[in-house]
Structure 1
Amino acid sequence: MKKIYSILAALVLCGIVFNACKKDVNPSLGKDNPVAAIFVVKKLYKGTDVKITSEALTGASKTGGIVISNQSGKNFPQGTLIIQSLDRGQMAGLLVDLGAAEVPFVPGDSVVIDLEGGILSKTGESLQLKGLSAANIQKIASGKPMLARSVSMGALSKDFALYENTLIKITADTKPLPAAGDTYAGAKTLDDGSGSTVELLTKTEATFAGNSMPASATYTVIPVYGNADGNFGSTQQVRLRTEADVANASGPIYAGWPESFETPDASFKGSYNMNTPDVPDNNVQLKTGNWKLLHSIFGNTAGRDRFNEPGKQSIRFNQNLTVSALLQMNFDLPNGASKVTLWHGAYYTDAISTFRLEYSTDGGTTWVAAGPDVKAQSGGSRQETFALNIKGKVRFRINKLGLGPTSVPNVYNGRLCIEDIAIYSN
């Protein structure tokens, strides 16, 4: 019987963590939720150290989330525990400083933290929970998924504190490009070609510090405020946990890319299908070259079109078509392709749609799928990565499939937004 009660108690705690922190009063019990969401806890900090009390949290005395830090890579200070949770649509992370103690938790552990006596404090610009030990933390489950959001460099640069201590993915080049023998150790500049950069910091004692630095890759990282010595401080940094957080290593991005569709202005092509002296056969001159925009236009409606800051435009494809809608390069790149990345999302509240990335090595005469068909992201945008090994001259296009009018649940063919296409040389 005691074992059954223990299992029930653990299940209750699981429910508390993942429904975190709603401060509503339970009308049947007349009691507040004892667990506060991470973002609620962090709001207690007003510029000076604050001791956490249940009174300040309207009766709550705990918080919880999924462990995303990994001490095995030795790229964070000893005693660092970082958790994140998604509550009411807000992803938030919390760094817990356990001092010099070993951290008995691993990535994917679901934990509940007893906050009583804890202190919210800043080391430089790094907000941390201090004054607690591992005894204040209870693991309630293992192997939970760790959500890593794809984030554009522009968004990270603008709202760094919003992403601090959460798990994100960024795709970028190392600038300057690594020379033979260059390793991860130290501070490296990551640049995605958008005009924004961030520092990738690797401690000299990190297990992968001596490994070769790629020209470009997709990095799963934790944004922190740190110092050059690897401790926490005031510099905006991103840090790998282990080398397993590096994927899709490739050649560098072509000069002048990504194509961000910021010029010309959206009014230049006001129709999905047009043939005028300025837009002959739907061909438009963009910063990277001449493109065909067939059944597609520039979209700049805030909150509806899915463009990445600081940009204000993306490409919007028409809906309910029975023929393909295209965003197509009318020019070749000379040195093949090792990777293509792009952002995509359904326009506003439209139904999703399906598209494929295609390439041509014969000047646009024939086109080949560069990967499987992709379902558009709903309710926002996400970055898609295509790992390739194409030699010689190549051009690409987005082919939004003409599946016909949307007819739920059989056909989904809403408007589609494409943004920030980046092509990496081979």
Structure 2
Amino acid sequence: MKTMKTRGIKQLIYIGITATLLSSCFKEDINEAIGTNNPEISIYALRNLHKQDDVKLTDTELTSANHIKALVVSTHEGNNFPKNYIAVQNEWRGQLRGILLEVADPQRYKLGDSVDIWVDGLTLGRREGVLALLGADHNNTYIINRNNPVVAKAVAISSLNKQYDNYESTYVEITSDLEVEPNPGEKIKGSRPLADGSGNKVYVTVSNEANFAEEVVAPSATFRGIVSKQQEEVHLRLLTYADMAYPSGKIYAGWPETFENPDSPKDGYANRTVVLSTGPWWFQQTLLGVTQGRDRIVSGANAVRFQQNHASLDALLQMDFDVPNGASKVTFFYGSYWNDPTSWFKLEYSTDKGATWQQAGEPIRDAHTTTESMDSKQAIFLMNIQGPVRFRINRPQANNVGGRLGVDDFAIFRSY
């Protein structure tokens, strides 16, 4: 055993993983000043040691490396993860990779644990198609600290199909409709395909033994879980019912509204109706902006820009038509125009054809400048509205001290 030898290593505080995993077991990582290799190996490098057959990890294979530091990204809380395994991941030179770790006492490890794993002497092999480190126990694995943030990596269905090995055993999220819309009240258990319309599929998987197997599945959601493969099909194994985040009905056909191809250009901030692909919208103290790098253009060539210092009128982006089957979710992207100061705004809805309006959720107050980030933020509002409904974004005239605001890609999801 090399427990005493590694005691100092295992006492190191885990900080962000990416800062610590700057080298692996490769020859070019030799420290010429002291003539020794880095004792830490990344999961990226470790996975590359496996070809087809099981590999017994020794000093020769590891090139004198002996341990990895990683983040636990699985939990057995929902009883929907393979028994006697946990999933861990880390990042090395921008390469995020995961791997399963066979352990005798999986309940000992919690989501968000930072762990130090002594890999010298373990076996690297595939079990049921998934690469795993085999033979570890509490003498091989030391919990450095707990309650570290675990953030799912957003990924496209096509990426999971084309680059599966890069995502195996990592914690990811996919925002998508189920390929086959479930019946009202249908249970979440089973494997259900998510599809992107280009022939790519990923299966959301919940076993019959999961403690949330009898919960209702949503037609659309942000699905989060651990990536694996079964009989050449890519699966996303949910860990708890909460991994079906932002549940909703399917998005209405023809949405999101991307504010392209209006019937005629919007001239300045003049108040008028503009006919877009989804229907007629009322623009009040708003216009279609086309300035790259300043307007918050998420897709296409246009985004909506809200005026600043509009003391006499609210600035509105308002549907002048209803969607027929209610709403369970509304999303859109937003940010400050260029480097203008932030200003608060709100989402409102009407169920009486625009005669009266009610606020949905809380106002948004964190619009950011392009200096802070060129990427727009996404607002997500969950709701349960039945029957015909229309929406608007309202930047109230009382809020005239703020700068201009940008909005794009407005989406409505049916009730379910």
Quick one: distance in 2 between partners of 1:27 and 1:269? 68
How far did 1:52 drift? 6.0
Shift of 1:21: 0.7
Partner-residue secondary structure (3-state), 1:20: coil
- Structure 2 unaligned regions, length at least 5: 1-5, 24-28
Q: Secondary structure at the match of 2:14?
A: helix
Matched position secondary structure for 2:12: helix
Aligned pair 1:273/2:284, yes or no?
no
2:380 is equivalent to residue 385 of structure 1: yes
- Count of residue correspondences: 394
Match of 1:75 in 2: 80
1:256 is displaced (CA, Å) by 0.0
Offset of residue 259 of structure 1: 1.0
Which structure has the greater CA radius of gyration?
Answer: 2
Judged with a 3 Å threshold, the aligned counterparts in structure 2 of structure 1 residues 55 and 67 are, in CA distance, closer, same or farther, namely same
C-alpha displacement of 1:138: 1.3
The structural deviation recorded for 1:318 is 3.8
The whole-number CA distance in structure 1 between the counterparts of 2:30 and 2:286 is: 52
Cα 1:238–1:326 change in 2 (3 A) is farther
Unpaired stretches in structure 1, ≥5 consecutive residues? 1-5, 228-232, 406-410
Distance 1:404-1:116 versus aligned 2 partners, 3 A rule:
farther
Q: 1:220 to 1:118 in 2, by over 3 A?
A: farther
How much does 1:298 deviate? 6.8
Cα separation, 2, equivalents of 1:195 and 1:243: 27
- The equivalent residue for 2:238 is 240
Q: Deviations 1:148-185 (Å, cap 9, x if unpaired)?
A: 34556566667655544333344444443323663223
Amino acid of the residue matched to residue 360 of structure 2?
A: A
Matches of residues 405-420 of structure 1 in structure 2 within 5 Å?
Answer: 413=403, 416-419=406-409
Give the superposition deviation at 1:272: 7.5
Secondary structure of 2:110's aligned partner = coil
User: CA–CA distance in 1 between the matches of 2:86 and 2:43?
Assistant: 14
Instruction: Quote the RMSD (CA, aligned, Å).
Output: 4.7
Per-residue CA shift, 1:316-348, capped at 9, x if unaligned? 344883346654322111232222233456689
Q: Which residue of 2 aligns with 1:113?
A: 117
Question: Does structure 2 retain, via aligned residues, the 8 Å contact 1:316–1:347?
Answer: no
Equivalent position to 1:182, from 177, 183, 186: 186
Pick aligned residue for 1:368 from 331, 334, 358: 358
Taking structure 1 as the reference length, what is the TM-score of the superposition?
Answer: 0.71
Question: Is residue 226 of structure 1 aligned with residue 232 of structure 2?
Answer: no
Q: Distance in 2 between matches of 1:219 and 1:343?
A: 16
Q: How does 1:244-263 map to 2 (within 5 A)?
A: 244-250=242-248, 252-259=249-256, 261=258, 263=260
1:20 is aligned to 2:20: yes
How many angstroms does 1:361 deviate by? 2.7
Equivalent in the alignment of 1:214:
217
After superposition, the Cα gap between the structure-2 partners of 1:317 and 1:182, relative to the gap in structure 1 and judged at 3 Å, is closer
Residue 384 of structure 1 aligns with an amino acid whose one-letter code is A
- For the 8 Å contact 2:74–2:226, the answer to whether it is kept is no
Q: CA separation of 1:235/1:197 partners in 2, compared to 1, >3 Å: closer, same or farther?
A: closer
Give, in whole Å, the separation in 2 of the partners of 1:363 and 1:269: 24
Aligned pairs for 1:394-413 (under 5 A) are 394-399=389-394, 413=403
CA contact (8 A) 2:293 2:338 kept: no
Report the TM-score when normalising by structure 2: 0.72
Question: What SS class does the counterpart of residue 361 from structure 2 fall into?
Answer: coil
Bigger CA drift: 10-19 or 368-377? 10-19
Distance in 1, Cα, partners of 2:406 & 2:34: 47
Q: Which moved more, 1:197-206 or 1:184-193?
A: 184-193
